[in-house]
Amino acid sequence: MQKIITIVGARPQFIKAATLSRQFQKLGIEELIVHTGQHFDANMSEVFFQEMEIPKPTYQLEIHGLTHGAMTGRMLEGIENILINEKPDGVLVYGDTNSTLAGALAAAKLHIPVIHIEAGLRSFNMAMPEEINRILTDRISDYLFCPTDTAIQNLEREGFKNFQTKILKNGDVMQDAAIYYAEKAEKKSNILSKLNLPTFILATIHRQENTDSPENLRNIIKGLNEINLQIPVIVPIHPRTRNILSLQNIQPEFNLIDPVGYFDMIMLLKKCELVITDSGGVQKEAFFFEKYCITLREQTEWVELVKNGFNMLTGSNPEKLNAAFEFFKTKKSDFSINLYGKGLAAENAANEILKF
């Protein structure tokens, strides 16, 4: 393949895409980037692209703020027009967003090979829009790059060996990104001096199953308040979630801070004592920086973290959350186990794509 169109729609996808873009440049593969605009992010300015060393999008569709159906449909239309004009040799998509599904659908209907990075992940919760997106994207993809053995096993259980699909294990590009940007974060971020806390726990809450459920949100805040009595808890929080807390009269007794950029997030992950999150990506990043993680969900796509004792699922239950906190306070583990490719995922994938 000589010409690839990459579809992205959110800031984390740009960070993932940057890992492969660097490899494509080394191998002489032409890449055009399409930004759907799914997650409108004011932080994605010129400075963001410069600091993160990310190629600027060739096309910007600016589609956001719509329902799932309307957003996906508009994206499908816009991406289709680009593919007809550009005639790429392949379309590359990441993860499980509406942008991912729209890009894969547009390419498949035009008989352009679809490459799915982060294939085979399953939460087994069909109430999650992401689960629907990732299952459908996998089914219409031609090349499935899986981050873990578990992801490959998921595809095999679903009968993918019977499909005209190539399944490859390349590792996790998020580990590539974490390794690449960790040194830069030390120079770029001043978040730690701002907080001025010798020890702290980092927590994030953003999934709708938690933020849109007053009961779940109240229970999570209760658990975090109790933990905060022992170690300060830091929570970068979206304005929407902050507003919900106010409307529901839920009183956090820990440190709420504004959303942070990637470099600041890396420094918080590097220096915290423990991570508490409902984010899929942050669960892995905790492991990359050798931190235990408590996950505020009933299931996770990253089951290998749970199986190997690095992660514990508590849902929104405050008693389970506190029990997990007490457990991890004294636990010692070897984080050197190779679960995600040790930073070679993008290189592995790019070298395979070159052969297609």
The pLDDT tens digits along the chain (356 residues) read 689 999 999 888 999 999 999 999 999 999 999 999 987 665 666 777 888 888 889 999 999 889 999 999 999 999 999 999 999 999 999 999 999 999 999 999 999 999 999 999 998 989 889 999 999 999 999 999 999 999 999 999 999 999 999 999 999 999 999 999 999 999 999 999 999 999 999 999 998 899 999 999 999 999 999 999 999 999 999 999 999 999 999 999 999 999 998 999 999 999 999 999 999 899 999 999 999 999 999 999 899 999 999 999 999 999 999 999 999 999 999 999 999 999 999 999 999 999 98
Q: Kindly report the backbone phi and psi dihedral angles of residue 37, in degrees, each rounded to the nearest multiple of 5, phi listed first.
A: 85, 10
What length does the chain have?
A: 356
Provide the 10 A C-beta neighbour count for residue 80. 17
Task: Report the CATH fold assignment for 3-172+341-355.
Answer: Rossmann fold (3.40.50)
> For tokens 């999150």, what's the residue?
277
- Backbone angle region of 120, left / alpha / beta, with phi > 0 → left and psi within -120 to 50 → alpha: left
Q: Where in the chain is the domain with CATH 3.40.50.2000?
A: 3-172+341-355, 180-330
d(CA 94, CA 130): 12
d(CA 70, CA 86): 24
**In CATH, which superfamily holds the domain spanning 180-330?**
Glycogen Phosphorylase B; (3.40.50.2000)
d(CA 356, CA 348): 13
Contact 2, 351 (CB under 8 A): no
Question: Which residues belong to the active site?
Answer: 206
* Helix extents (H) in the chain: 11-27, 46-52, 68-86, 98-109, 129-140, 149-157, 173-188, 191-195, 208-211, 214-228, 239-247, 262-271, 280-288, 303-307, 318-330, 345-355
d(CA 15, CA 229): 35
d(CA 310, CA 329): 12
d(CA 185, CA 190): 9
d(CA 278, CA 125): 14
